[in-house]
Amino acid sequence: MRFRTLDDADLQGRRALVRVDFNVPMEDGRVTDDTRLRAAVPTIEKLRAGGAKVILLAHFDRPKGKWVPAMSLKPVVPALAKVLGYPVAFAEDCVGKDAAAAVAAMPPGDVVLFENVRFYPGEEANDPKFARALAENGDLYVNDAFSAAHRAHASTEGLAHLMPAYAGEQMRLELTALNRALGHPERPVIGIVGGSKVSTKLDLLKHLVTKLDKLAIGGGMANTFLYAQGHDVGASYCEKDLAETAREIIRLAGQNNCKLFLPLDVVVAEKMAPGAPARVRDSGSIDDDERILDAGPETVERLCRAMDNSKTLIWNGPLGVFEMPPFDKGTVAAARHAAELAKAGKLVAVAGGGDTVAALNAAGVSADFTFVSTAGGAFLEWMEGKALPGVAALAQ
């Protein structure tokens, strides 16, 4: 898909309405993780360098169209100013007189953060009237919030139809990386999909087996596939009612020449607790009181060999209960191997999803992957092959 970037824009003296994702973790009125603020810096700096007024639109939490003081974006301002290294203004509203006055007071190059757009019901309803009210304060629109692009809201989709629309720098990075991983990848392509539930990733699995050359299934969802193949999974988490669905996905993979990798061996324990006594079992040899909590060493070794023979990797979801040693070993070993290949230029490694990012951070390898998306739901829907309204609106 072709989309306009800020390289194409005349910025001097223009009012740039920039949709960012500042839905950041907060504690006692302070930002505890500024990752998303730092992600917006390249776009903000590019606009400032071009002489634009930078007007930031964002949501925080779920006020459901009501004014909730505890969900104000005002506490984000000091943290953003610290990241940028200069003052950031705050407008007490995102439309109307307060917003207009804040913009009128700005010289080119200044930055202002508007109040939470979700304080208005028109935001999530993608109400054209609310979108027009937002548009009154801008000459051009920049979407830099891929993580909110799967939602057709006024500030993520509606605005793009009311004025010239561009992808921000973070959005450009995200779309370029994702296209490289699944749109037009270098083959062979291998996918790793983990996590606990097959039910939450049905669309994803059905889509990927038609796109990938190889797909490894891990985490709790692998238990459902093992059960579907007649293996006893003991006391493990398992969606037994989805056994036929799992068999359908296995058949679909075969029809599309997608090689499916299910666990050969697993790490089990009688209870899920930090430091619980663990042992390795063949996938078909689980006792009734045992729970599968990680991929076994043979499974991980085979997965690493499969990565060695691939050119592109796309990863969503851990291989086990990575938050709880000793059940983190499979995920960490696979992540470190993928990172080594990516660092050596032998593999394009793209990963995304909240648990996946946390797992890669725990393994200390996020910086070595080709790209790590923090987008969560938008990343998952993109992997499912769904059109994202906020991205489609930027298409040329």
Catalytic residue among 36, 46, 53, 118: 36
- Reply yes or no on whether 183 is catalytic: no
Check 132, 354, 385, 386 and give the catalytic one.
354
Residue of 311, 377, 385, 386 marked active site: 377
Please confirm, yes or no, whether 13 is among the known catalytic residues: no
SS3 for the chain is: CCECEHHHCCCCCCEEEEECCCCCCEECCEECCCHHHHHCHHHHHHHHHCCCEEEEECCCCCCCCCCCHHHCCCCHHHHHHHHHCCCCEEECCCCHHHHHHHHHCCCCCCEEEECCHHHCHHHHCCCHHHHHHHHCCCCEEEECCHHHCCCCCCCCCHHHHCCCEEECHHHHHHHHHHHHHHHCCCCCEEEEECCCCCCCCHHHHHHHCCCCCEEEECCHHHHHHHHHCCCCCCCCCCCHHHHHHHHHHHHHHHHCCCEEECCCEEEEECCCCCCCCCEEEECCCCCCCCEEEEECHHHHHHHHHHHHCCCEEEEECCCCCCCCCCCCHHHHHHHHHHHHHHHCCCCEEEEECHHHHHHHHHHCCHHHCCEEECCCHHHHHHHCCCCCHHHHCCEC
- Cβ pair 181, 308 in contact under 8 A: no
> What gap in Å lies between CA 198 and CA 227, rounded to an integer?
12
- Establish whether 211 is a catalytic residue: no
Instruction: State the burial class of residue 11 (Cβ atoms within 10 Å of its Cβ: 0-12, 13-18, 19+).
Output: buried
Name the token pair of 59.
């949501």
Does 197 participate in catalysis according to the annotation? yes
Q: Which residues have a Cβ under 8 Å from the Cβ of 225 and sit 6 or more positions away?
A: 198, 217, 246, 249, 250, 262
Question: Which is catalytic among the residues 197, 206, 302, 343?
Answer: 197
Looking at this protein, which amino acid is placed at residue 27?
E
List of residues 6+ apart from 181 with CB closer than 8 A: 189, 312, 313, 314, 348, 350, 371
Annotated catalytic sites, by residue? 36, 197, 354, 377
